[in-house]
Amino acid sequence: MTSGKKARYVRLDPTGNITCLVLDPVSWADRPRITDRLMDRCEQVGYLLPAGESGAKARLEMMGGEFCGNASMAAAAWLAGESGLKKGEETVIPLEVSGAEGIISCLVRREPDAWRGTVSMPLPYGMEETELEDRRVTAVFLPGMTHLILPEGSLEKERAEELLRKAALRFSAPALGLLQWDGGREYMTPLVYVRGSETMVWETACGSGTTAIAFWLASKAGYSLKARIRQPGGTMEAESEAREGALREIRLTGTVRIGETAFLEDEG
């Protein structure tokens, strides 16, 4: 992207997790600069590209190469809107997404004032109890993302950020989350660090964090679970399904609002 060229992007609101989706091609070399300029307008940045796999509608690449359920849901809603989907109609948008293998299916339905989206999340591949400083946490490992669940946690802002920075030295995932969980209120406070962009954000909603909490809760309930997980930006619904004694699927449902498309002029 040469100096003076404009990049088209759209600002999306999936359950409060404000996402800027860049719609024009941007080289890997230019992405850190474009991401940095957009981060004052959103919590995360994704890049929408042509699909590489047959059967996918498009490819979504997040700013740090991580997987993001909310951004996937938002991208699917935008693509469905561009295809002319009318109110009351629904469709499945197959996407390739960074941090996940294969194709992710996103069901979106156009409602009177928003979109309703459901995404099948990549399943966690492991979980372990561990110590982090003087805290007992549960680490949930997802493709491209590790979340640390702090049960009944209530840390000061600076202490939580310090803890996550230290965790980044120990865990090598492209992105890390610290999820403070209030079980009585079923409320999650997500703090997310993305290594590639060196950003740390108190997110208003986190799809992969919701998946981690759902997996953790489901592991205690035989892997079949329906939960409404509250977070600062709103509530996401999580449903896990077990077959033959094993977890087969976790689906997240949330609301997406699509903002105006705008242009960012490159100053590099």
For residue 207, give the CATH number of its domain.
3.10.310.10
> Are 62 and 133 contained in the same domain?
no
Instruction: List per-residue pLDDT tens for the chain, 268 residues long.
Output: 555 578 999 999 999 999 999 999 999 889 989 999 999 999 999 999 999 989 999 999 998 788 889 999 999 999 999 999 999 999 999 999 998 889 999 999 999 999 999 999 988 999 999 998 888 999 999 988 999 999 976 799 999 999 999 999 999 988 999 999 999 999 999 999 988 888 899 999 999 999 999 999 988 777 778 999 999 999 999 998 877 777 888 999 999 999 999 999 766 5
> Are 89 and 103 contained in the same domain?
yes
Return the beta strands (E) in the chain as ranges: 6-14, 19-22, 44-49, 58-62, 90-97, 104-110, 115-120, 126-132, 135-142, 145-151, 175-182, 187-194, 199-202, 225-231, 234-243, 246-265
> Are 143 and 31 contained in the same domain?
no
> Are 240 and 260 contained in the same domain?
no
> Are 12 and 95 contained in the same domain?
yes
Say if 1 falls within a structural domain: no
> Are 90 and 131 contained in the same domain?
no
> Are 114 and 36 contained in the same domain?
yes
> Are 88 and 137 contained in the same domain?
no
Say if 152 falls within a structural domain: yes
Domain that holds residue 83: 6-119+255-265
> Are 130 and 247 contained in the same domain?
yes
Pairing of strands 104-110, 246-265: unpaired
| 120 in Cβ contact with 104 (< 8 Å) | yes
- The CA distance from 222 to 241, in Å, is 10
Nearest to 178 by CA among 165, 188, 164, 166: 164
- The CA distance from 22 to 78, in Å, is 12
Q: What is the pLDDT of residues 117-156, one digit of tens each?
A: 999 998 899 999 999 888 899 999 998 899 999 997 679 9
Which tokens sit at 97?
């997404």
> Are 180 and 159 contained in the same domain?
yes
Q: What is the pLDDT of residue 203?
A: 94
The count of domains in the chain is 2
> Are 237 and 260 contained in the same domain?
no
Longest pairwise C-alpha distance within the chain: 57
> Are 113 and 133 contained in the same domain?
no
Sequence letter at residue 88 = G
- The CA distance from 253 to 239, in Å, is 9
